[in-house]
Structure 1
Amino acid sequence: MAVFRSGILVLTSSLHLIPSRLAPVLAAAAKIVQKILYVHLHPGLGLAGNCVQPTPAYVPANREVSQILTHLYAKSLNVCGCLDVRVILSNVKNLCSTQQPFSSVQTLSEPPEVVLTDYRITDSNQSSLVTQCLEKYILACYTCRPNLQSIFLPSGGDDAENSCPDANDPGLSEGFPPYGDVVLGGTFDRLHSAHKILLSVSCLLARKRLLIGVADGELLSSKDLKELIEPYQDRVDKVRTFLLDVNPGIQYELCSLRDPYGPAITDPDLECIVVSDETRKGGEAVNRKRLANALQELAIHQISLVKDVHHTSDEEEKISSSTLRKRLLGSLLTPPKDNPRLPATPYVIGLTGYMGSGKSSVVQYLQKMGAVAINADAMGHQSYRQGTAAHHKIVQEFGQEILLQDGTINRKALGKIVFEDQEKLKRLTSIVWPETAALVKQMISQAGSEGKSVCVVDAALLLEAGWKDMVHEVWVVIVPKDEALRRIVQRDNVSEEDARKRLANQWSNAQRVQHANVVLSTQWEAEFTQKQIRKAWQLLQNRRSSC
């Protein structure tokens, strides 16, 4: 069967039957579509007969549709998590809304190449006519790629057996109250199913404008693995593209949210705020601020959190961006660049992270996995030894007062001098780093001559020293700065002020992650750290064996 980059799934089942039929339909779709699967709701679509092209029909915006959106996005994560599923809402309308009927063909960001449907063909003699009719219908609704194809998927069985338990609930047909301007906020990192539910329901509520605050700046400082959060503009672009795909008929405004309230407490035109179970108190706080600003309170529309059935014991139970970021630990974030000057063997991992990040524990576990460890810091200490060129240059540069009685360099006294003066620190590193690099290269060469396959160079200053060309991949170990400070104070018996000075002379987590092929974190229990390392090691072996 051919595989397509993008497709559109036309669901023709009655709305109350869709939740119980989704699994087989989505599973089948995932075998055909690789990237984006658009979903078009048209319950009761008729395609038989004389193949007269059916006209697009409105679906009422009510609790039942909201439930279907939740089911669809949650089920898509469970059944076809590799697909970017987007439920189109341009034909979903609140009966009280003044939104104009759609009259033109909608252009999607990734025009579909194939039409999938759960429509049942009862007469095999009419299959070709039904196919023509289906394709004409979709082409009347959306801009598609040439040579559009149709595929009929399993619809899920008998209606009576698959009927949803709450299908007879009269409250399901109750329409959503339409609001002119609706507001919501969030981080929207790695746009996932829970985000899509939040944004889609907001689209159902908004009659005119949807204002979205996207967290930025200090609002991100308390987030787990904040260094792995996508750049602000990337997050904004993904949200905007999703919204324009699902409903281009609404005015979308996206703004940088740098405090918990943003324009929600100052915009007089807003009528409703959309929150989750977790952020309900935030919505109430917004209303208190609005009253203080002599503005009308907002209606609060609350959406339930969605459980992640794939979560593990060290992850949140709900679908969340922080869980997705944790799952990136140990994965290959950026493919390594080929460096023809490096021999293929030994394969060299450059392991870096600022002081207190937990590199030593990572190195120890990598050694157990089979890597040869090279401690660049220890190599740096060797360059200070009496009789070396570096020792002579250091004494010339900083004077006899840095020497102990036996003529060795008092590294503690030297450190106190350079950590308080950036210019002096640069002069020291210009002496030590080249000598250290030469020693590390010797150790790598020796490991290669001994037949070792993988070396890990433990180097806190790998990136600052410009040693990326010495390694095949850069692995970065990160922990929150406060945790690193606590570890340094406890380990080295220094004051917090001294610990801060040391960290101030090293690159931040965010700077290091920009150069990372793999990121690890030791901020949780040791078992989780080891789990990351095993994952990273296995993926490394897979990469090397496929070369």
Structure 2
Amino acid sequence: MRTEKRIDQSRFPFCLEGEKVTSMWKVGLTGGIACGKSTVTAYLKEQGIQVIDADEISHRLMGEDPEIKAALLSHFGEDILDQQADLDRKEIAKRVYASADELSFLNRLMHPRIRQSIEEDLAQLQALGNTLAVIDVPLLFEAHFEDLVDEILVVALPKAMEVERLMARDGIGQDLAEKKIASQLALEEKIARADRVIDNSGTIASTKNQVEAWLKEKEEKHVMS
């Protein structure tokens, strides 16, 4: 974890200094690629909510875990290294999104380690007195992490917008963008499994309003009960 700050006590006064928390409401945040999860997590952080970012964990593990680096080099060869002899994530992405087998290999390697890190972070946040934590996991369903959370939020927008935003965000062509999207569970299926859907097809203000409404429900039903 990069921070040990508790959630905003002015908003969630039942998260008190030194108070032992026996139950923490855990929320899984997921959605399609480039659907706007970062917009939601940024707003949550502004409100003092602790967010565990699975992508950040993955990046850290690839950069720091020698066993992961060795396994990737053994599988893909040294062509996945950049000029500084570090793992080239873009090169790895090209390979795994071009082959279902390669993507499966990467997921088998990374998901158990990511899960372990998330579990450790959740335990730490609860020990620090937090009563609400959000886990941002793009592959929440694909990795079968649903059992880690009490509630699931899905950020969604129409397919055409998803492709357009992904192309702009990653600087890639439409073909690769569509392959990346197809590598995940269909957004429609994620929506069907969600407890709450955040529609990010409108303005940022509209998205924030939806998140704010959800936060108010947490104050009333879970965090402050």
TM-score, with length taken from structure 2: 0.85
Structure 1 residues 545, 399: CA separation in 2 closer, same or farther (over 3 Å shift)?
closer
Runs of 5+ unmatched residues, structure 1:
1-342
Q: Give the 5 Å matches for 1:469-484.
A: 469-484=147-162
Contact 1:371 1:453 in 2 (8 A): no
Structure 1 residues 439, 388: CA separation in 2 closer, same or farther (over 3 Å shift)?
farther
Paired with 1:533 and 1:394, the residues of 2 have a C-alpha distance of 38
Residue 523 of structure 1 aligns to a residue whose secondary structure is: coil
Relative to its length, the structure with more helix (as a share) is 2
Q: Give the 5 Å matches for 1:171-250.
A: none
Contact 2:27 2:134 in 1 (8 A): yes
Relative to its length, the structure with more strand (as a share) is 1
Paired with 2:223 and 2:124, the residues of 1 have a C-alpha distance of 23
Structure 1 residues 507, 344: CA separation in 2 closer, same or farther (over 3 Å shift)?
farther
Paired with 1:424 and 1:454, the residues of 2 have a C-alpha distance of 36
Residue 383 of structure 1 aligns to a residue whose secondary structure is: helix
Contact 1:478 1:520 in 2 (8 A): yes
Residue 211 (structure 1) aligns with: none
**Aligned residue pairs: how many?**
205
Equivalent residue in structure 2 for 1:452, among 130, 133, 149: 130
Aligned-pair CA distance for 1:431: 0.1
One-letter code of the match for 1:471? Answer: V
Equivalent residue in structure 2 for 1:403, among 75, 81, 98: 81
Residue 392 (structure 1) aligns with: 70
Residue 197 of structure 2 aligns to a residue whose secondary structure is: strand
Aligned-pair CA distance for 1:449: 2.0
Contact 2:31 2:138 in 1 (8 A): yes
Q: Give the 5 Å matches for 1:71-470.
A: 345-470=23-148
One-letter code of the match for 2:27? Answer: I
Residue 385 of structure 1 aligns to a residue whose secondary structure is: helix
Contact 2:45 2:51 in 1 (8 A): yes
One-letter code of the match for 1:497? Answer: D
For residues 399-422 of structure 1, what are the alpha-carbon distances to aligned partners after superposition, in whole Å with 9 as ceiling and x for unaligned? Answer: 222122433211111111110100
Paired with 2:120 and 2:223, the residues of 1 have a C-alpha distance of 26
For residues 231-270 of structure 1, what are the alpha-carbon distances to aligned partners after superposition, in whole Å with 9 as ceiling and x for unaligned? Answer: xxxxxxxxxxxxxxxxxxxxxxxxxxxxxxxxxxxxxxxx
Structure 1 residues 425, 545: CA separation in 2 closer, same or farther (over 3 Å shift)?
closer
Paired with 1:354 and 1:536, the residues of 2 have a C-alpha distance of 20
For residues 302-349 of structure 1, what are the alpha-carbon distances to aligned partners after superposition, in whole Å with 9 as ceiling and x for unaligned? Answer: xxxxxxxxxxxxxxxxxxxxxxxxxxxxxxxxxxxxxxxxx9533211
One-letter code of the match for 1:429? Answer: N
Structure 1 residues 344, 543: CA separation in 2 closer, same or farther (over 3 Å shift)?
farther
Paired with 1:344 and 1:374, the residues of 2 have a C-alpha distance of 19
For residues 504-536 of structure 1, what are the alpha-carbon distances to aligned partners after superposition, in whole Å with 9 as ceiling and x for unaligned? Answer: 101122110122111111101122111111111
Paired with 1:444 and 1:383, the residues of 2 have a C-alpha distance of 18
Contact 2:167 2:173 in 1 (8 A): yes
One-letter code of the match for 1:374? Answer: I
- The question of 1:540 aligning with 2:218 is answered yes
Residue 164 (structure 2) aligns with: 486
**CA-atom RMSD in angstroms:** 1.7
Equivalent residue in structure 1 for 2:177, among 499, 513, 518: 499
- The question of 1:531 aligning with 2:220 is answered no
Contact 2:31 2:187 in 1 (8 A): yes
Paired with 1:545 and 1:456, the residues of 2 have a C-alpha distance of 13
Contact 2:25 2:223 in 1 (8 A): no
Aligned-pair CA distance for 1:386: 4.5
Contact 1:350 1:474 in 2 (8 A): yes
Paired with 1:379 and 1:345, the residues of 2 have a C-alpha distance of 24
Paired with 2:81 and 2:143, the residues of 1 have a C-alpha distance of 25
Runs of 5+ unmatched residues, structure 2:
1-20
Which of 1 and 2 has greater Rg? 1
Paired with 1:435 and 1:511, the residues of 2 have a C-alpha distance of 26
Paired with 1:413 and 1:381, the residues of 2 have a C-alpha distance of 14
Contact 1:352 1:474 in 2 (8 A): yes
Contact 2:30 2:140 in 1 (8 A): yes
Aligned-pair CA distance for 1:376: 0.5
Contact 2:24 2:131 in 1 (8 A): yes
Aligned-pair CA distance for 1:452: 1.8
One-letter code of the match for 1:452? Answer: N
